[in-house]
A = this chain, B = another copy of it.
Amino acid sequence: MYGYELAFKDLGIDTQQEHVVYMRADCHVCKSEGFSALTRIKVWDQQKSIVASLNVIETDILSPGEISLSKGARETLQVSEGALLAVSHLSPVESMKYVRAKIFGNQLPTAAYRAIMQDLVQGNYSNVDIAAFITGCAVQMSVQEIVGLTQAMIGVGEKITWDFPLVVDKHSVGGLPGNRTTPIVVAIVAAYGLPIPKTSSRAITSPAGTADTLGTLTRVNLDIEEIKQVVQKEGGCFAWGGAVKLSPADDVLIRVERALDIDSEGQLIASVLSKKVSVGATHVVIDVPVGETAKIRSHKNAERLKTHLEQVARALGLKLEVLLTDGTQPVGRGIGPALEAMDVLAVLQNDPAAPQDLKEKALVFAGCLLELAGKEPAGNGIKVAQAILESGEAYQKFKAICLAQGGFTVPNYAPFCHEVTAAQAGTIIRIDNRRLSKVAKLAGAPEDTMAGVLFAAPLGKTVAPGDLLFTIFSESEGELAYALEYVNNEKDIITIA
């Protein structure tokens, strides 16, 4: 029906996942088909097609007869310079009718969520379509719908299966600087003998994700085969979830959620639990930090989230425990990949100077997993976990996992640093987690792995003028100055009274 008559030229434009096709304004195909900017069209090579939004080119960066694609579109179609492409009108994306139904307040069956997720991961939705779906799901999602969405997200990803009778996992909904309990929990639980194939994310808006922190200690971009090998050998792993396609729908949704700065409960639950099911977990503990400047700001919201997480997990056949934890201040001292990794190592090495809050929180979660899995009686889990940690077994296991993943290295401090001190005497009464994280990001975290903040002013501490509140680390003088400028302009990142 359509001739393959436009030659691909790479303009190398990264539009961040949304597929864009570039065609000249005077292109006869554009004109005869009635295409104009923002039109969604199909682009074909000989084998397959993608859906893309049209951007019209009015200069000679494309010559007559040429066509270009955004980076993601080019990668999906796998075309190379000069390849002949065809374009055609797009039949409406069928599943958008469900999105429209959701927008107008209807409950959707699981089959509708499946259709939506399939189109989503195939790139058939524009960013505008995705935004409409996310917004439509922000309110009025029943537990049954969240189950449907979760199952649909699982359905479009890969799933790891294990021969173990049970597989444990741990997750934090995040929003708290530091709080890097995961590596410690995995080491203890794996040393105990429970399989824990942990996948983690890199930072999206925070100064470090668990995968960023572990990336300073070992290699984390394992594929599924490697995850299986490491876990078979050592009982646990530290993998970057982005390297495996366990929840490709989530990758797409999160990007637009971040752009909108929306975090709806239904999407959060589906995002977390779909990954747990996909990784093959059967018993899961979830950390929900609650605090004014954490992600979950009130106990009322935390309790509702806990109830809904439990209900959806039950429907999925997951054993789940949700712990509401203190979200008023950072856990540990480091904020940023390497600085957090140092905290983790200090705890594992039983360094007397290790942050005790991080150690205690890790033990609570490790103990909880041992009990949830039915391996230890109630109240005994934490003691067993403590014994494994303090005996050095957890540290041995940690190193063994790292070596199985490809190596174990210890990070260094960044070359530039500046100490931020108290301007007055008093007691630390409030910490703004969000702005403290921002300081670490401005200093270069997570891209500069050694950059970040070393926190030294926990709530309740008494300080004199000139006492250390936190140290900013950075890999360049410019970034240090940039972070400092922010600190000097902002009031009460740490409140003393």
Interface residues, chain A, with chain B CB atoms under 8 Å away:
10-16, 22, 25, 32, 34, 36-38, 40, 55-59, 61, 70-71, 92, 96, 100, 103-105, 126-132, 134-136, 138-140, 255-256, 259-262, 264, 441, 444, 447, 478-479, 482
Point out which of A136, A140, A441 has the most chain B C-beta atoms below 10 A from its C-beta.
A136
In the complex, what residues of B have CB within 8 A of residue A105's CB?
139-140
Whose C-beta in chain B lies nearest to the C-beta of A448? B34
Does the CB pair A103–B57 fall under 8 Å?
A: no
Task: List 12 additional contacts besides A12-B57, A13-B58; criterion CB under 8 Å.
Answer: A12-B61, A14-B37, A15-B37, A100-B260, A103-B139, A104-B264, A126-B259, A127-B128, A128-B130, A128-B131, A129-B259, A132-B134
Alpha-carbon distance between A126 and B136 when the two chains are bound, in angstroms: 18
* Complex contact A58–B12 (CB within 8 A): yes
Which chain B residues border A61 with CB–CB below 8 Å? Answer: 11-12, 61
Residue of B nearest to A446 (CB): B34
A490 to chain B, nearest CB (A): 13
Measured between beta carbons, the chain B residues less than 8 angstroms from A71 are 58
Docked pose: A478 CA to B2 CA in angstroms: 13
Closest residue of chain B to A28 (Cβ to Cβ) is B478
Bound CA–CA A139/B101 (angstroms): 11
- A38 and B273 CA atoms in complex are apart in Å by 27
The CA-CA distance from A104 to B261 in the complex, in Å, is 13
Q: What's the minimum C-beta distance from A217 to chain B, rounded to whole angstroms? A: 23
User: Can you name 25 A-B pairs with beta carbons within 8 Å?
Assistant: A12-B61, A13-B55, A13-B56, A13-B57, A14-B37, A15-B55, A16-B36, A32-B478, A32-B482, A40-B259, A58-B71, A92-B261, A96-B261, A100-B260, A103-B138, A103-B139, A104-B138, A104-B264, A105-B139, A126-B259, A127-B127, A128-B260, A129-B259, A131-B131, A131-B135
- Give A492 to B260 CA distance when docked, in angstroms: 44
Copies in the complex: 2
Closest Cβ–Cβ distance, residue A385 to chain B (whole Å): 38
Contact indicator B14/A55 (Cβ below 8 Å): yes
Chain B residues, Cβ within 8 Å of A103: 135, 138-139, 262
Q: A103-B262, A132-B135 are in contact. Are A22 and B32 (CB under 8 A)?
A: no
Q: Does B104 lie within 8 Å of A38, measured CB to CB?
A: no
Whole-angstrom distance between the Cβ of A25 and the nearest chain B Cβ: 7
- The smallest beta-carbon distance between A86 and chain B, in angstroms, is 15
Tell me the complex Cα distance, A445–B100, Å: 28
With a cutoff of 8 Å between Cβ atoms, the chain B residues found around residue A447 in the complex are 34
Nearest-neighbour CB distance to chain B for A73, whole angstroms, equals 13
Residue of B nearest to A255 (CB): B38
CA distance A264 to B92 in the complex (A): 19
Residue contact B56 to A129, C-beta cutoff 8 Å: no
Partner of A132, one of B58, B126, B139, B260: B260
Q: Which residues of B contact A130 (CB under 8 A)?
A: 128
Which residues in B have their C-beta under 8 angstroms from that of A34?
441, 444, 447
State how many angstroms separate the Cβ of A223 from the closest Cβ of chain B. 24
Residue of B nearest to A59 (CB): B12
Q: Which residues of B contact A59 (CB under 8 A)?
A: 10-12
* A381 → B minimal CB distance (Å): 38
Residues of B within 8 A of A22 (CB): 13
**Contact indicator B132/A262 (Cβ below 8 Å):** yes
Whether A128 and B256, one on each chain, are in contact in the complex, defined by CB atoms closer than 8 angstroms, is yes
Complex CA distance for A57 and B11, rounded to whole angstroms? 8
Are A129 and B260 in contact (CB-based, < 8 A)? yes
Contacts of A478 on B, CB cut-off 8 Å?
Answer: 32
